[in-house]
C-alpha cells in the first residue's frame, strides 16, 4: 500500500536522482524544467503549493510498509471556478516498484483528493501516445481518452503526440463503489 505525503525540499535530492537525462525529464514534465533539474527549479515549483487555496498540490509517494519514498505526483491547475484540476508529473522513481500497479494507485488517490477533498467535478491528465504502460494504468484508474493532440510537443527534431484523458465526478462516484 502507498500513501501520498506533501513533497518538501527534503525530497529534492531523491527526485533529482531519478531524472537521469533530458529525454526522461521532458517525458515527465514537458518544458516546465530544464536539465539538469536543480534545487532552484524545485523551490520555484514548490512556491505557493500545498497550502489552503493553492492551485497546486505536490506529493511524494511513500511505500507504507518500508516508509520509503518511491515516486512523485502532482495535482495542478486547480480551478475552483470551473471545478477542475489536472494530474501531472506522475513518476515511479524506484524501479523495484514498476509493474506493480503503483501508478494506477497513485492516480486513484489523486482522483479521490480531487473529487472528495477538493469537491471538484473534473480531473484531467495528458500522456504521450508512446507511453502505453501509463495509458493502461490511467485507464485502470478510471480515466477515459478524450482525444489525441497530434504532434503537440516538439522534442529535438521529433514531434510527440499527446493523449488527453479525463474523469468526471459522476464517473468517480460510479467507479469507487
From first to last of the 177 residues of the chain, give the pLDDT tens digit: 999 999 999 999 999 999 999 999 999 998 899 999 999 999 999 999 999 999 999 999 999 999 999 999 999 999 999 999 999 999 999 999 999 999 999 999 999 999 999 999 999 999 999 999 999 999 999 999 999 999 999 999 999 999 999 999 999 999 886
Say which residues have a Cβ less than 8 Å from residue 133's Cβ, sequence separation at least 6: 99, 103
Q: Would you say 98 and 104 are in contact if contact means Cβ atoms under 8 Å apart? A: no
What was the pLDDT predicted at 114?
A: 98
Cell numbers 518538501: residue: 8
What was the pLDDT predicted at 21?
A: 95
What was the pLDDT predicted at 31?
A: 87
pTM: 0.96
Show the CA angle centred on residue 70, arms to residues 13 and 116, nearest 5°.
110
Q: Would you say 170 and 122 are in contact if contact means Cβ atoms under 8 Å apart? A: no
Q: Which top CATH class is 2-176?
A: alpha beta
39 to each of 26, 31, 93, 138, how far by Cα in Å?
17, 17, 18, 30
What was the pLDDT predicted at 129?
A: 98
Amino acid at each position: 500500500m502507498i500513501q501520498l505525503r506533501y513533497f518538501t525540499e527534503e525530497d529534492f535530492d531523491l527526485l533529482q536522482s531519478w531524472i537521469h537525462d533530458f529525454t526522461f525529464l521532458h517525458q515527465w514534465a514537458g518544458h516546465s524544467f530544464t536539465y539538469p533539474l536543480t534545487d532552484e527549479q524545485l523551490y520555484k515549483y514548490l512556491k505557493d503549493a500545498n497550502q489552503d487555496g493553492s492551485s497546486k498540490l505536490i506529493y511524494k509517494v511513500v511505500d507504507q510498509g518500508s516508509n520509503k519514498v518511491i515516486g512523485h505526483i502532482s495535482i495542478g491547475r486547480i480551478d475552483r471556478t470551473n471545478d477542475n484540476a489536472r494530474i501531472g508529473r506522475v513518476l515511479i522513481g524506484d524501479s523495484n516498484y514498476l509493474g506493480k500497479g503503483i501508478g494506477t494507485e497513485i492516480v486513484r488517490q489523486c482522483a479521490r483528493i480531487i473529487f472528495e477533498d477538493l469537491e471538484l467535478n473534473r480531473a484531467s491528465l495528458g500522456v504521450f501516445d508512446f507511453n502505453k504502460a501509463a495509458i493502461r494504468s490511467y485507464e485502470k484508474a478510471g480515466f477515459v481518452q478524450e482525444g489525441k493532440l497530434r504532434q503537440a510537443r516538439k522534442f529535438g527534431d521529433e514531434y510527440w503526440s499527446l493523449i488527453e484523458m479525463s474523469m468526471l465526478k459522476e464517473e468517480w462516484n460510479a467507479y469507487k463503489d
